Amino acid sequence: MTENVDSGDPLAIALFSEIFMADQLARARLAKALPKGMELSHFSVLNLLSRSGAERTPAQLARSFHVTRGAMTNTIGRLDAAGYVHIRPDWDDARRKFVSISDAGRQARDTALSAIVPILNDAVKAAGTDKVRQALPVIREIRKRFDEPPTPDERTP
C-alpha cells in the first residue's frame, strides 16, 4: 500500500521548478563563457575574496558557499596551483590557514567578470529592468529562508 503524499502548493512547485531550471541553465551558460580552465566555483571564490578585500579561512569560505571543507580545500588547491590565491599559516594557530586573492587572481576574476557580465545584462534586459527590481526582494527573502538552519521536521531521519 502506498502512502498518499500531499502534492504541495502548485504555486510553490511552479516557482521552484522555474528557479531550479533557471539556475541550471544560467550555470551552464556562464561556465561556457568563463576563461579556459576556470570553473564557476573558482570564479565565485575569487569574486568573494576580491569584493571583501579580506583574508578568509578555508572553513569560512566553505560556510559562505555551503560546501564541505573538502570541496573548498579542492577549490583552493586549484586556485593556488593557478597562482590566483595566496595561502598563509595563521601565526596564532598553526592548524589554520588564511586565503587571500593574488594580483593574478584579481586579474583572472576581472577577465571572467567581463565575459559573464554581458550575459547577465542581457538576461535582465530581456526580462525587463522594472520586473527584475520588483522580483529581487522576493528572491532575496526566499534565499534568506534557505540560509537558515533546517527546522526539525525538515531534517532527514
Distance CA(132)–CA(77), nearest Å, equals: 36
Distance CA(92)–CA(61), nearest Å, equals: 19
Of the chain, the end-to-end C-alpha distance in Å amounts to 21
Residues 133-145 pLDDT 10s: 999 999 999 999 9
**Is 5's pLDDT higher than 90?**
no
Give residue 101's pLDDT: 98
Give residue 156's pLDDT: 62
- Check: CATH 1.10.10.10 for 38-115? yes
**Is 74's pLDDT higher than 80?**
yes
Give residue 4's pLDDT: 52
Domain ranges of the chain: 38-115
pLDDT band at 93 (very low <50, low <70, confident <90, very high): confident
**Is 116's pLDDT higher than 70?**
yes
